[in-house]
Amino acid sequence: MNETKQTVSRKNLNREQTLLLHGVGFVTGDPTIRLEYPSVMHPGTTVTVSEAGDKKWIYMMLPITRGSLITRFQLACHRTGLESHISLIRLIEQSSPLSATVVHNEPVGASIPSGCTIESACNVIAANSLLLKVCMVFANTDDTIEFGAVEVTYVPNFQPIKAGYHREREMTAKQQPYSLKPSAGYFLSRLKASASDFFIEKHKLIPNK
């Protein structure tokens, strides 16, 4: 099934809402990943690993209503270590517990600042349950990646989702247990001149104006 890019009118842009989440919502099934949730020692969710590797995944459920159009993600993060970083932001749609479909897949450049807010634009209509997946590269077991705010910008009730469309997405997922759909979005990031937040633009940093 081909992913169709949705044109968002100015009227719908005015209806955009922001879902404010936090890194405390991340979970993982990887036994080599350790999640340390907020405490008096640190306000964010800290990720460490017992084994270095380039495919360290964490997951967050997104409480988005069916028919909403997701337009952007923002993840505030901080890392230690020059070679450990976030490498991919992925959104998967799932109905059956045995299959899932990738609806957004955005690489992240390795040359991001140690403290930054990663912004990823997308164009996805929610038809089933959605999971935000973040892939990390850990070059050293002493390194950490810490997450703070997670923001999801969306247009509620953008398009009614019919039952037939829902079943078609399920059938596609069953035929291909883990399929990859090209993302209609693009990776967007900017450098923001502040002590806590920075933005990047693709592989180069651009001062905020």
E strands present in 52-128: 53-62, 69-79, 85-94, 100-107, 115-125
50 versus 189: the higher-pLDDT residue is 50
pTM of the model: 0.74
Q: For the segment 126-164, what is each residue's pLDDT rounded down to a tens digit?
A: 999 999 999 999 999 999 999 999 999 999 999 877 654
So where are the chain's domains?
10-148+163-187
As a whole number, mean pLDDT of residues 27-37 equals: 97
**For a pLDDT cut of 70, what percent of the chain falls above it?**
71
Q: Are the CB atoms for 56 and 33 separated by under 8 Å?
A: yes
Note the residue count of the chain: 209
pLDDT for the residue numbered 8: 58
Phi first, then psi: give them for residue 116, nearest 5 degrees. Answer: -155, 165
Confidence band of 24 (pLDDT split at 50, 70, 90): very high
7 pLDDT tier (thresholds 50, 70, 90): low
Return all residues near 18 (Cβ < 8 A) that are at least 6 apart.
Answer: 151, 152, 153, 154
Half-sphere exposure at residue 80, Cβ-oriented, CA atoms within 13 angstroms: 10
What's residue 172's pLDDT? 46
CATH code given to domain 10-148+163-187: 2.60.120
